[in-house]
Chains A and B, each alone.
Chain A
Amino acid sequence: MPRQISPNDSRGQMTVYFKEENRLRDKSSFRLLLLSGFFASCFFLIVIKLTIIAGSDGTVNSGYNKKISEYESRQDIVDRNGNILATNIPVYSLYAHPEKLLDPEFAAKNLSLIFPDHDENKLLKLFREHPKFVFLKKSITNNEKTQVLELGEPGLRFGERELRIYPNGSLLSHVLGRTKIKEISTTESSIEGISGLEKMFNNQLIKKGLDRDPLKLSIDLATQSVLEDILSDGINFFNAKGGSGIIMDVNNGEVLAMVSLPNFDPNLRVKLNYSSGNNDMFLNKAVQGTYELGSVLKIFTAAMAIEMGTFSPHTLVDVSQPVKIGKTNPIKDKSWIGDKISLKEVIVKSSNVGSARIISSFEPEEQKKFLESFGFFEETGLELPEANIRSSVGSDPWTRYKAAMIAIGHGIRVSPLHLAAAYATSINGGLKVTPTILRSSKNNNNRVRIISHSTSIKLREIMGEVVNSGTGKNAKIDGYSLGGKTGTAEKYDKKLNKFNYKKNYASFASFFPLHDPKYVVVICLDEASNSYKKTNKRIAGNTAVPLTAEIISRVAPILGVKPEMIDSGSLYDFRVDFISDKGRLSEN
């Protein structure tokens, strides 16, 4: 209790009292300062912490969430209808700490029973040599994990990871590509694409974030399956070495099916081995392989002749004599075709002489430019790492002889995909097509015109006639009308140093429906031979053409293409209605 100061106190007493008071105040003010400093720093710390919390994104930072985000490390790949083509399933890795094993012999014996690829003695040796750590299996299933757990060994441990699986097996293997497991640690691993789409979109597939939609392809699973089935049957039937097939939308370049045979099962994770010769099955023949395709390229000679205005489909061409340019071998036909035939007949009868004669009225440079405009000498733009190739014509100068050879499809190596894109361009009305494997990824507003609409219509008509009465007449099917051009190219034999007539590369590039093309189909067969035919058993008309007919008759209804051109029955009227409705008769 402070002392009351009374006015009666003496002056001396007052002085003593104030001195005492001042001393005490000095002492306590220091304490007060210290205390307020302490509280201020506490308050300051809280403010800092609050600022940090306010600035964070609100997620609870614990080890658990980290694990979840790692689990979703690779996105699915789906087809245009959402069917899963590639997905992940959780699996476990198995490793051991041998020094913690209760009974290494028991563990080794039982592990070799669960996993027959592990030898008991080798395991024991491993356990003795590496007492700290032994990695046993990259991925085991849940069942196998339970079996290992039942051994009751504390030294056997598991790591969580995921396994990329392809539920459709070898279907679409070349497009999807292959993956490998990249080991980071015993508990962590990542999947890495090493070919195909898995490689092309590796970064997009592992991207973390909210916009994690599966990668949607333009591929239609049903169409792909039918194409692969029929092509595979065809290859067996014709004893071919391999083959490829592409079905593409003629307007937006979307690839609906792409097959290269022989193929592989990406689930088996077979390694590329050049010595065993298995590299052939990893080659995507549809985009990676370039071939001298022969007569299928004659249509571009006709396209050029019509587009330049020099020729019409009815212009007569002299085919009576072989074409001889300089000192080179003359270009001739296999058999006598006639004296003078129209340009249309040159294509319908696939005359080498006619094509060479037509191209001789142009400068070689013009042909080069024309083929360039179709995109033959650039990459197609398809989203596959393997599709980085362009057509090759050799480095020698573009002489008149070379022009004539290219006019009949020799001396130029083209991939089936380049061919499909160029055919789509030539029959869709003349607008350039850039192939894509993704669903509606590119906008098609600024499309380049390559040939005029009327030239395109004339080309359709010519190719319709090829199927109607020419080399492609085995492609006539019920319900649908189609057009196309065949090609049978003799393969160059390096041993014989000449073209070997017994080894052919047969191809058929076609489209349907004839009057309003929607899809282009390119089928190529390597060394196919039709044993049911006595003559001409190797030509495309007896191999690739009937195969294409089978494919289109199966695929067209799946793709929802309305039938037309029925010869008999009630559907006949439907055809007339269908064509006149859309004004297609006026186009002809």
Chain B
Amino acid sequence: MRLTFLFISFLSLMTVSVWAYNVNYKARSVIKSVKTLSSEIQNKEARIKLLKAEWTYLNRPERLNRLVTVHFPELRLLALSYENYLLFEDILLAGKKGTDNSTFEPASNKQDKLLNEMVEP
């Protein structure tokens, strides 16, 4: 009886120590990978932050204004004006009832006309 008890105690001690050893090493490796990951996260976050700052810098209003001027011949971008607001009824849609499509003028033509007026005088 006593012998059995001793044997079982010894066996459980061994099992528990093996388990504790494993857990210990697993925890250590997890800590190690956490360190690697947080370092990676830190680097990525710093990179994102830098890229965001750069993106904002490239999109600053002063530069966009300059680009609009430089690329005016191709892009023909104009500042937003009250004329950009229209009622839905005023938009000539192809195939819409009661609209005469022969007088339909694409918006781009209108813009070109406006530009010619601006450039000529």
Contact = CB atoms under 8 A, between A and B. Distances in A.
A165 B79 CA distance: 28
A357 B35 CA distance: 79
Tell me whether chain A's interface is mostly helix, strand or loop, or mixed: mixed
A557 B39 contact: no
Interface in B23-49: 31, 34-35, 38-39, 41-42, 45-46, 49
A482 to B, nearest CB: 12
A557 B78 CA distance: 13
A65 interface: yes
Contacts of B38: 64-65, 68
A393 interface: no
B74 interface: no
A316 interface: no
B60 A60 contact: no
A172 B50 CA distance: 21
Contacts of B57: 167
Contacts of A571: 86-87, 90
A222 B61 contact: yes
Interface in A185-200: none
A171 B82 contact: no
A130 interface: no
Given A87-B49, A88-B49, A563 B85 contact: yes
Nearest to B87: A574
A167 B49 contact: no
B82 A84 contact: no
A557 B82 contact: yes
B102 interface: no
Contact of B61 (A168, A563, A566): A168
A99 interface: no
Contacts of B82: 478-480, 553, 556-557, 563, 566
Contacts of B85: 557, 562-563
B81 interface: yes
Contact of A169 (B39, B53, B62): B62
Interface residues of A, number: 36
A554 interface: yes
A138 B110 CA distance: 56
B83 interface: yes
Interface string B88-121: 0010000000000000000000000000000000
A392 interface: no
B4 interface: no
B52 interface: yes
Contacts of B45: 71
B62 A225 contact: yes
B43 to A, nearest CB: 10
B6 interface: no
Contacts of B87: 570-571, 574
A268 B50 CA distance: 19
22 contacts: A60-B31, A68-B41, A83-B56, A88-B49, A89-B49, A167-B53, A167-B56, A167-B57, A169-B60, A169-B62, A221-B61, A229-B61, A553-B82, A554-B79, A557-B81, A562-B85, A563-B82, A570-B90, A571-B86, A571-B87, A571-B90, A574-B87
Interface of B: 31, 34-35, 38-39, 41-42, 45-46, 49-50, 52-53, 56-57, 60-62, 65, 79-87, 90
Interface of A: 60, 62, 64-65, 67-68, 71, 83-84, 87-90, 165, 167-169, 171, 221-222, 225, 229, 478-480, 553-554, 556-558, 562-563, 566, 570-571, 574
The 3 tightest CB contacts between A and B, nearest first, are: A479-B82, A225-B61, A563-B82
